[in-house]
Structure 1
Amino acid sequence: MGPTPGTHAAGKASVEAVARILAGNARAAGVVSAGELFGAPGFLRALRPHVTPVQAG
């Protein structure tokens, strides 16, 4: 049994976040969301090739 789509998406988001932190692109410190740390639109655009957005409801 392979990884689930949710696991794959979380892994890609984690890798993107670490790459941005190591590049010095973090705007805050401490416990914050990815949107607060990097700006949600740019972060989500970076994930677009790997994750398909789904609208709830």
Structure 2
Amino acid sequence: MLCLTCHRVRPAASRADYTAERASLIVRQGLCVCSAPSTRPRRQAPVRKGAPTPK
């Protein structure tokens, strides 16, 4: 559950990983922000037609 690099809590791989123990560890030790790749691919938000483009 802890990152071997920064010793903080790694992001959860599934919904089942969200537990009270994980939340408590995140509060005490923080959430891992290392640039190590995640075990699952991240989905990009779909682009909506007609949506204003950020400036």
TM-score band w.r.t. shorter chain: under 0.3
- Choose 1 or 2 for highest CA Rg: 2
